[in-house]
Amino acid sequence: MASLRKVIVSVDTEEPETMADIAAQLSEHGLDVDSVLDTLSTITGTCDESNLGSLTTVPGVLDVETQYTYQLPPPTGRVQ
Amino acid sequence: MTQQDDGSGVARYLVLFEEDAADEGTRAMTNVAGIRAVHSGEIATQTGDGLTYLPGGVLWADLGVAVVTAATDQINALRGTLANRGPIAMIEPDRMVYAISTPASHPASIDSEEATFTWGLRAINAPASAASGAGVRIAVLDTGIDIDHPDFVDRELVARSFVDGEDANDGHGHGTHVIGTACGPRRPDLGPGYGVASSAEIYAGKVLNNAGAGTDGDILAGIAWAVQNGCTVVSMSLGAPVQPGQPPSVTFERAARRAMNKGTLIVAAAGNESARSDGLIAPVSHPANCPTIMAIGAIDQEFKVGDFSAGTLPDSGAVDIVGPGVDVHSSWPMPQRHHTLSGTSMATPHAAGVAALTAEVHQGTAWELWARLSQSAARLPLPSTDVGAGLVQAP
């Protein structure tokens, strides 16, 4: 069974058209793109664990990281 | 503590005078009811306890108020003048003893100071600062904000949700609390002043859902939004625990550098995973462990490190500075309105607010702001691994 991972991809440009091209190529490599953040040269999305390696082969990609998840204590918790 | 009629028919009342009519009103009290009020400036050497039971009372001319001790027939005579639109505007029973029992010549007690400003605001010297963050945009990325909260009416507020299926309204409370510390009022209608940058423009980005959960992707989207909107500071009271020695996220580090290059300083909570009383110090959380994100630790009212506050461990992220983070009073979704919480989440918006004040005073951004926050921090006699440069101070 496929294991989906939310990932963040760091790229070497902030030029919007180039970023859109990179995002399109990442899609072809199995990334379901959530957002293309030109300002931060970062693309976020979801992909199957087995495709993680191939994302790094896309030209312009610097790093691929699995996203951290965050969880606050419930509102009744004294330490936040 | 309350004081009511003790059976003798004598009780205490507040007498409110019309505008600029305190002298005339004091004469009226004497003529009509035989009540002689002493001017507050004349009682400096007397004790409050004595005054409480003396017939007569005390006049605060600047406030246009007298607190008087009077018998029933005296107060009835005084009430008879209310219909004539004279110098006395209102008479009401006084139920509080503590106000008059504090001699005017003594320094105000801790409690009465807390009644004006929170201990956190006083610790960072915000009440004395002429700056209020006017013209500066602060983004707070959290669980959103109680958009209808009465302490934020008349404020410039932009709210945006990055959480699927939820609007920017705060269904948790955490976001409303931290926004209150960073940008809330210094003089709210109710309770002490608790907001550092009380005139800043508020950008409330919801990146954690109503259950308090979120992911890196939504947080990065929130950072990008803040940068695009020219926010000088991004305050993130959030973090994910890491292991000692675990390297920081290269993507967040790059994103933070890009934000800095565009004039946006990011501050983030150092983390709450320590249990110092048990000898455990946890490393700085993600993403505060990124070198270009300012990591904020927490101190308490005695200027000791919060038991939970993360520390600087070998080959891990550094605590850069600390803020007040134990027993912090701030806003909370209605109807509760206010709430007191602890955590590096509470320390972080103190630092973000100071960054906004500093930006207003010095017109600086990014690395200049970082340098000024570090340079102006109050040094503490504690390890730099716990408190970095020290306690943030308002300019």
CA distance A15 to chain B (A): 13
- Cβ contact, residue pair A69, B251, below 8 Å: no
| Distant-in-sequence, close-in-space partners of B236: CB < 8 Å, separation ≥ 6 | B140, B141, B142, B219, B266, B267, B268, B269, B287, B288, B293, B348
**CA-to-CA distance for B187 and A51, rounded, in angstroms?**
55
Same-domain status, B262 and B175: yes
Structure tokens at A53: 């390696």
Neighboring chain A residues of B227 at a CB cutoff of 8 Å: 39-40
Same-domain status, B293 and B144: yes
Is residue B215 less than 8 Å (CB to CB) from chain A? Answer: yes
Total tally of structural domains belonging to chain B: 2
Helices B72-79, B22-33: inter-axial angle, 10-degree rounding? 130
**Domain of residue B274, residue span:** 98-387
Q: Quick count: other Cβ atoms within 10 Å of Cβ B150?
A: 13
Cα B24 to Cα B18, B31, B70, B299, distances in angstroms: 9, 10, 19, 51
pLDDT over 70 (residue B188):
yes
**CA-to-CA distance for B310 and B297, rounded, in angstroms?**
7
Same-domain status, B221 and B328: yes
Same-domain status, B87 and B160: no
Q: How confident is the model at residue B19 (pLDDT cuts 50, 70, 90)?
A: confident
Point out the catalytic residue in the list B40, B132, B142, B300.
B142
User: Is B174 a known active-site residue?
Assistant: yes
CB B58 within 8 A of CB B29: no
Residue type, B7: G
What is the bridge-based pairing of β-strands A4-11 and A61-66?
A: antiparallel
Domain end (from B94, B119, B147): B94
Residue type, A17: E
Q: Given this model, what pLDDT does residue B99 score?
A: 28
Same-domain status, B337 and B251: yes
Number of H helices, E strands in chain A: 2, 5
CATH assignment of the domain containing B154: 3.40.50.200
Same-domain status, B104 and B38: no
| Distant-in-sequence, close-in-space partners of B55: CB < 8 Å, separation ≥ 6 | B10, B35, B69, B70, B71
0.80 exceeded by pTM: no
In this predicted model, what pLDDT tens digit does every residue of B65-102 receive, in sequence order?
A: 777 788 888 888 888 888 877 888 878 766 443 322 22
pLDDT over 60 (residue B148):
yes
Cα B294 to Cα B92, B142, B319, distances in angstroms: 52, 17, 8
- Write down the mean pLDDT value for chain B: 88
**CA-to-CA distance for B250 and B282, rounded, in angstroms?**
21
Same-domain status, B294 and B325: yes
Same-domain status, B68 and B151: no
Nearest CA in chain A to B347: A80
Cα B116 to Cα B22, B64, B167, B255, distances in angstroms: 25, 20, 34, 40
**CA-to-CA distance for A22 and B281, rounded, in angstroms?**
42
User: Is B148 a known active-site residue?
Assistant: no
Neighboring chain A residues of B224 at a CB cutoff of 8 Å: 37-40, 42
- Cβ contact, residue pair A39, B228, below 8 Å: yes
Is residue B348 less than 8 Å (CB to CB) from chain A? Answer: no
pLDDT over 60 (residue B175):
yes
pLDDT over 70 (residue B53):
no
Q: How confident is the model at residue B63 (pLDDT cuts 50, 70, 90)?
A: low
DSSP B286: B
Domain end (from B94, B126, B158): B94
CATH assignment of the domain containing B48: 3.30.70
Smallest Cα–Cα separation from B100: which of B52, B142, B66? B52
DSSP B190: S
| Distant-in-sequence, close-in-space partners of A70: CB < 8 Å, separation ≥ 6 | B208, B212, B213, B214, B215, B219, B238, B239, B240
In this predicted model, what pLDDT tens digit does every residue of B240-282 receive, in sequence order?
A: 999 999 999 999 999 999 999 999 999 999 999 999 999 999 9
CB B43 within 8 A of CB B58: yes
Which of A10, A40, A79 lies nearest to residue B250, judging by beta carbons?
A: A10
Is residue B316 helix, strand or coil? coil
Residue type, B229: N
Domain A4-66: which CATH class? alpha beta
User: Is B142 a known active-site residue?
Assistant: yes
Smallest Cα–Cα separation from B356: which of B176, B132, B75, B27? B132
**CA-to-CA distance for B171 and B332, rounded, in angstroms?**
10
Tell me the average pLDDT across B360-383: 97
- Cβ contact, residue pair B216, A71, below 8 Å: no
CB B239 within 8 A of CB B219: no
**CA-to-CA distance for A56 and B229, rounded, in angstroms?**
31
pLDDT over 60 (residue B127):
yes
- Cβ contact, residue pair A68, B237, below 8 Å: no
Residue type, B280: L
Smallest Cα–Cα separation from B65: which of B41, B89, B30, B32? B89
Position B3 in a domain = no
Domain end (from B68, B94, B120): B94
Neighboring chain A residues of B240 at a CB cutoff of 8 Å: 68-70
Same-domain status, B63 and B145: no
Q: What is the pLDDT along chain A (80 residues), one digit of tens a residue?
A: 579 999 999 999 999 999 999 999 999 999 999 999 999 999 999 999 999 999 999 999 999 999 999 999 999 998 99
- Complex ipTM: 0.88
- Cβ contact, residue pair B172, A71, below 8 Å: no
In this predicted model, what pLDDT tens digit does every residue of B341-351 receive, in sequence order?
A: 999 999 999 99
Structure tokens at B114: 């807390």
pLDDT over 60 (residue B46):
no
In this predicted model, what pLDDT tens digit does every residue of B162-174 receive, in sequence order?
A: 999 999 999 999 9
The number of residues in chain A equals 80
**CA-to-CA distance for A13 and B191, rounded, in angstroms?**
50
Q: Quick count: other Cβ atoms within 10 Å of Cβ B241?
A: 17
Tell me the average pLDDT across B363-378: 97
CB B216 within 8 A of CB A44: yes
Q: How confident is the model at residue B328 (pLDDT cuts 50, 70, 90)?
A: very high
